[in-house]
Each structure stands twice: as C-alpha cells, then as structure tokens.
Structure 1
Amino acid sequence: MADGSGERARSFGAAAGRYGDYRPSYPDALADALEELSGVALAGARVADVGAGTGIATGLLHARGARVVGVEPGAGMAAEFRRRHPHVPLVRGDGDRLPFASGALDLLAYAQSWHWTDPARSGPEALRVLRPGGALAVWSNDPDVDVGWIAGQEERIEERFGPGWYVNEHPRPQAGLEFTTRSLRWSRRVPVDVHLAKLATHSLFLIGRAGTDEFLDEERERLRELFPGGTVEEHYVVDLRVARAGRPERPRT
C-alpha cells in the first residue's frame, strides 16, 4: 500500500452517500467475463465482495443471482451499504482477516479495493477461504487515458498534486495465485457537475489536500468551455484479473 494509505482509506466514510451517488457502476460484460475467466457460474454461487463500500459491485453480483455477502471495514460505508442493499448480508471485516471459514466461498471479489490490503496477508487469506476450484477476482474502473480530454485532466491533477493521486495497485502473482487478465472498455454520459462530484469522491480530494477545491472550480470552467452542451462522456477501462484456486489432486490408483 502507498504511504498515507490509512488516512486515504478512512476518508471515504464521511462521503459514503456521495460515493454511492456519483461513482460509476460496471458494464454488463463484466459479469460475463467473470464467469468465463473464473469458471464459476454466478447464479447460486457463494461470493464475498471485500471492501464492498456502498455496494456498487455487490449489486451487480446479486443481480446475477449470486449468494453474495458484502465485507466492509468502515462504519460510514457499511451504513450506506445497508441503506442501499437492505436484503444483502453485510459483515464488518477486511481482506487481511477474512471473516469466513476455510473453503467457504466459490468466488472472492475485490472491486476497487485490493490496494487497501496487505497482499502478503490477503493473498493467503484468499486461498484459505476459497474452495478448491474457486476463484479470486480483482478489478478496477480506471479512467481511459487513451481519450484526449481524460488524459489532459490526469496530467493537470498530477502537475498540481504529484503522481500517485489515483490509488490503485494491481495484484501481483504469488504462491497459488496466477492471474489471467481481461480489459473491458465502456463509457457513460453525465453532466459536468456529476463528473466533478465523482472526481471529488477520490481520496486525494477527501483528505482535504490544500488546493483541491480550487482545482475543481478551475476544472469546472475548463470543462464547460470544452463541452458547451454541459455533458461529458466518461470513458473507463475495467481491468479484471482472475486467479483460480488449485484443484485437489486425484487419488492415485
């Protein structure tokens, strides 16, 4: 995890409502790719969404028929999760100490949350709670910097606040976890103010870093000039990484 990650991780609680309102969901193709790469049919599968936040990914998994449980360490996010998904179970916990029995899950999911864990702990924990043949799925919704205006915005943020503002670390191979990767491009059209409200839910802006309010005001004027109709098309790349847990060896005859 990056330096200051504890402060950034804790920053989301006070903004849970805004996070749920403005953060994007995921394309329908994500669920299909999950099933293909994991070999797990979501309908009826025992799934945990770790670092569930307000339940954006949990809702997608639940809609596909998974018996999903949210896992969330933060009180503010957990309260917002329960408000938005009152019929989905939620437990308090984190990826370094999963509150599940060994071999209990078919699929373990981390949506935008793997980087808040210690991989030296969360990796072995994933292998512990997955059944043989189950799968760990880690994904993120990253801004598509191949799109010109998005690349320009990323450059302006880094010029003002330095690199590393967008906290996201992809999982690395470790014992028992070899990942297969799939990229899914998609977009959504939103008003300029909704885009900026989404930007303001990222931890850089939530921790009260000096100059962030001024930056958002400047960005509003810039985007209104660039998009006089008042609507932007946000482009994303879902980076999906799936590792299957080992299957038991067949007994020798």
Structure 2
Amino acid sequence: MTDQQDFREIAESFGGVAAEYDRARPGYPDGLFEALERLSGRSLKGARVLDVGAGTGIATRLLAARGADVVAVEPNAGMAAQFLASSAGLPLVRAGGDELPFHDDSADLISYAQSFHWTRTERAIPEAIRVLRPGGALAVWWNVHDETVPWVRARVERLSAALPNYHGYGRIAEFTALLAPAGLRVERAVLRWERRITVDHVLDDLVSRSFMAALSPAEREPVLAVERQAMIAEFPDGRVVEPYVLELAVGITPA
C-alpha cells in the first residue's frame, strides 16, 4: 500500500465518526475571528469565504454567524451528510483543497479549520492563490491541546504508547514556511482558551480523531476504557476543564 493510499484511507475514516465529530469536537472562541479580521485586514461581514475541509460545519457555521458569505468545501461523503444535517441553509460543495472548483479571483478568504494537514500543500497553496482575489487571505488554524497541563501531557504519553498511528497537531510553523516563497505575507496569532465538558464528551472527541477513527470498534474499546478510568481519576465529578492553544496563520496575497 502506498503512502497516498494510506493518506486517503485515513481521511475516509472520518465518515464513520461524523456524528461524534460534530457532537464532540471543540468550537472556536470569538477571539479567533477577531484575530482573523485583524490579521487579514478586512471584516468577515460580507466577505466571500471558502471553508475548505469543512467537515461537519463547525467553523462554517461560526463564519456565517459573523456575516460571511461562506461556502463549505468537503470531500468526504459521511462528513458532508452530517454537514447537511447540522448546517441547514449553508451551501456545500463536494471537493477538496487540492483542486478547488471555483473561478480565479473569486474569494476574499479561504479557511482551513483543523484540515490543512489533509491537503497536498504543493497543490493546495497554488490553488488557494489562484482562487483568491488580490489582497485576499489564506487562513489555517488548529485547536491544540495544551500539553503544558500535566493531565493533558499524561494522556498524550498514554496514547502515543498505545497507538502506533497517534499524532498531535501544531503544524503552523511548517505551514508558515511554505507561504513566503509563494509570495504571501504571513501573519500569526496564538490564543489560549478552555472548555468545560463531561468525561463522555472527552471520549466522543477521542473517537472522532483520525488515529482512533481508523480503528475498528473492538480496537478502540480497550483504549477508551483506559482513558475513561484516567479521566475519572483526574476529574471525579465527571466534569473536565479542557485547555487549548489555538494556533492561527494567515497568508495574504499581494493587493
């Protein structure tokens, strides 16, 4: 099996956990969109936005709530079906970032929320530049669990030991290094925030991650049992405070 086949199969696994993804994945604080407007130099209100790798529409709905004229772009059938169930009235195009089915100079902003690592950057970045209008912006962001917090770091160590395909995030530096050679001006921001959820919510979130989604239910269960036990030991009342570092990078095209 080639690396390309591996890549596609792992990405396809999200379709089987789309409901958990929509139910359990974190959203984004208002500060993200304020930073996005500040760094890109324009308001989201009325902006033509393509939310690529939109998944179930978590970021798409928030962009629309800020007044953006947003179109979701999502290649996975299962995720697209959940998007249509969760994001009534918002348009969806079945496609990926490596080949955007949009005209040249037709978007003000192209966003990748938790999804840029599923593209082939040598294709996705030129495609974004082609579709963006002069002065438009390509924005990527990731919610990254804050590993400076001891219980988060301990969980990473457990999952790394239990799952050979475990991976974290934090690819902003890698992404940023690709933009300047492509002629984009790069701006960055980091925000810290947290959410309060239940242990069951934590486990649903884990199921929605690619390193778990690619496993069979029988393979997941022992890992989830260990994580449930660890979470209850850390949070006996079942209420978890989950800390995040939100990393944002914006590449702006020449005006």
Cα distance between partner residues in 2 of 1:220 and 1:168: 25
Q: 8 Å contact 1:135–1:245 — kept in the other structure?
A: yes
Amino acid at match of 2:195: R
Shift of the 9–175 alpha-carbon distance from structure 1 to 2, 3 Å rule, reads same
Amino acid at match of 1:213: E
Cα distance between partner residues in 2 of 1:164 and 1:221: 20
- Identity between Structure 1 and Structure 2 (%): 48
Cα shift readout 1:27-78 (whole Å, capped 9, x = no counterpart)? 1111100000011210000000000000000011000000000000011111
Amino acid at match of 1:160: A
Q: Post-superposition shift, 1:160?
A: 1.8
Cα distance between partner residues in 2 of 1:176 and 1:163: 34
Deviates more, 1:175-184 or 1:48-57: 175-184
Deviates more, 1:153-162 or 1:55-64: 153-162
2:189 to 179, 182, 186: 182
Cα shift readout 1:223-242 (whole Å, capped 9, x = no counterpart)? 11221111111111111000
1:243 to 207, 230, 251: 251
Q: Note the residue ranges of structure 1 that are not aligned, 5 or more in a row.
A: 248-253
Q: Does 1:151 align with 2:146?
A: no
1:34 partner SS: helix
Structure number having the greater helix percentage: 2
Amino acid at match of 2:202: H
Name the residue aligned to 1:6. 8
Name the residue aligned to 2:68. 66
Q: Does 1:233 align with 2:233?
A: no
Residues 1-253 of structure 1 aligned to structure 2 (within 5 Å): 4-162=6-164, 164-166=166-168, 169-170=171-172, 171=175, 172-173=177-178, 174-208=181-215, 211-247=219-255
1:96 partner SS: coil
Cα distance between partner residues in 2 of 1:168 and 1:79: 28
Q: Post-superposition shift, 1:96?
A: 0.5
Shift of the 167–36 alpha-carbon distance from structure 1 to 2, 3 Å rule, reads closer
Amino acid at match of 2:236: P
TM-score by length of 1: 0.93
Q: Post-superposition shift, 1:191?
A: 0.8
2:242 partner SS: strand
Q: Note the residue ranges of structure 2 that are not aligned, 5 or more in a row.
A: none
Q: 8 Å contact 2:192–2:245 — kept in the other structure?
A: yes
Amino acid at match of 2:56: T
Q: Aligned Cα RMSD in Å?
A: 1.6
Deviates more, 1:40-49 or 1:205-214: 205-214
Cα shift readout 1:5-43 (whole Å, capped 9, x = no counterpart)? 222110011211111011110011111000000112100
Cα shift readout 1:174-224 (whole Å, capped 9, x = no counterpart)? 312342211111101111111111111101111116743201101111211
TM-score by length of 2: 0.92
